[in-house]
Structure 1
Amino acid sequence: MGCSSSKSTTALDDNKTTAAAGTATRATTAAKKDTQMSAEYPASEAFTIPLDDTSTEADQLNDTLRQPPKRLQQIMQQAADSEPLTLLELEDKQQRAEQRRQELMQQKIETIQKNTQTLMR
């Protein structure tokens, strides 16, 4: 058999019967191993979770989880201590931000114009 022109002969029928018997033996051995493995598997575990609020340790843990980080607490404290911005201060801040945006846009336009001039040469 195969791709080349070989002159080999096929196996006798006696070999086929012994191969089939070997396959059956392997199947029974595998079944025995499965039953042994299931017998060795550890027993299941169960956990009970109480639903009442009598636990004090869990309450302490939840309190620490509810608190924000120290850095965030400091920022919140600084914001609470400072006075809120007035309308004039907000408008001034917004005007400075808009002016900064315009400057950045102008810089981008100048850079693009320089690049196009160098490419055109």
Structure 2
Amino acid sequence: MGFFDLVWKVAKGAMDSSSIGSSSLRSAAENSSLNTPSVYELRYQGQLMKVGKVEDGLRKRFCDYYRGKNGGTAYLKYIDETNRDGVFAKWRKCERNQCRALETQMYDAAKARGEELPWSDRR
């Protein structure tokens, strides 16, 4: 059982498998079905870099990350033109009121496993 599956099993209100996804950051930014509240992981070169949540629409967040400083309001200073095509995202759609709790569980579990999460500045 993977990390994401374990966290979700512990969380309230399990959803069907259509609520889980993964792809390159670019593909996720182009996916119009991602306009929902979600929790997500960002990986670069196989390393978990960030755990996050979005309550208003995952596609916009991924678009902002992919465009970088030139577009959007939620750019991530670590993603730029040199590395953005190597960033991969994994997400799980959830209810808006579950986002914070799921993000916290995922973050804490990753830290407990020894993950550094270098792109998660806020914690």
Q: Which has the higher contact order (CA 8 A, sep 6+)?
A: 2
Greater share of residues in helix:
1
- TM-score norm. by structure 1 comes to 0.16
Greater share of residues in strand:
2
- TM-score norm. by structure 2 comes to 0.15
